[in-house]
Structure 1
């Protein structure tokens, strides 16, 4: 965990961010978890504006909640290992997803980074004074389920996601 750090997205990270996105797209993954829609927005500069607006209660889009979006960067080589999006509250939509969304770059998976990232996200959630956070994963995603449980996630229920898949809901008391 000492080799990873949370870094706010900036213009100087554009090339690294686009490489991160491309690596997912190159293997057919078109949904980047924890990316606050980096996968859906063509221009990096437009994405930066959106995450900046959504980081402030006064400027957040009406159908969103205040959120903090980070790249997780490996200090030794400054490579983006993953992304984390921490929502400061839940709305009706987010009750299917939770407070924290995160994803790991395909070439860096199965190295323990996801667990480290979730621990970092939970530390940040404490800093912004959340006392309890909801996490969710698809029922068949055993890796995510194990990571959430490793981080003291307590299973609450299963719900039917709007996409037709079963989602498991966990809560972590901070």
Structure 2
């Protein structure tokens, strides 16, 4: 795995984000995990505006929490390999299902360790926010995500059947116990 960094998406990342999105759509994935409604926005600039609003307690949407969405850029070639959405706190919905963190990796870069590194870097960000522990959830059938969470110190707390019929696993990561 090549070295990556997490950065806030800016106007200069529009082409990379578009390419990332198109790759997901081309393999039939219309939901991009960890991208804070990217595929639901009318334009890239609308998404950037949405992210700015979500990052501030005064402007965050009702029923949402303050969050930071970052993109993972491979340093060697500046290719966008993933996204991560870090929620600074939990509301009722997130406590039940979503958790503090959602993350995703582009299809052609999966299985190379990027998800593990994106989550690790995201946990470092959570430490900077002053969080002591974070919740991360995934569908049980998503074995790569479950492995990624466990590699980063995730301890399975519970499993339950979501209203969509899928089994959900809820993990907690105690930030003081990871390096």
1:154 and 2:155 aligned:
yes
Q: Which residue does the alignment assign to 2:45?
A: 45
SS in 2 for 1:118: helix
Partner of 1:94: 94
Contact 2:85 2:102 (8 Å CA) reproduced: yes
Deviation at 1:2, TM superposition (A): 7.3
State the SS of the aligned residue for 1:86. strand
Corresponding residue SS for 1:159: strand
Counterpart residue number, 1:34: 34
CA distance, structure 2, for counterparts of residue 57 and residue 71 of structure 1: 21
Q: 2:6 is matched with which residue?
A: 6
Matching residue of 2:118: 117
Query: TM-score under structure 2 normalisation?
Result: 0.94
- Cα deviation for residue 9 of structure 1 reads 0.8
The residue aligned with 1:76 is 76
Aligned ranges 1:154-173 → 2 under 5 Å: 154-173=155-174
Distance 1:122 1:47 in 2: 24
State the partner residue of 2:21.
21
Q: Deviation digits for residues 31-59 of structure 1, max 9, x if unmatched? A: 00000010211211111101100001111
CA RMSD in angstroms, aligned pairs only: 1.1
Residue 58 of structure 1: SS of its match in structure 2? coil
What number of residue pairs does the alignment pair up?
A: 174
Aligned: 1:134 with 2:135: yes
Instruction: Give secondary structure in 1 for the equivalent of 2:39.
Output: coil
1:52-78 per-position Cα deviation (integer Å, ceiling 9, x unaligned): 000011111111100000000001111
Give the 3-state SS of the residue equivalent to 1:39 in structure 2: helix
Q: Structure 1: which 5+ residue stretches go unaligned?
A: none
CA contact (8 A) 2:2 2:76 kept: no
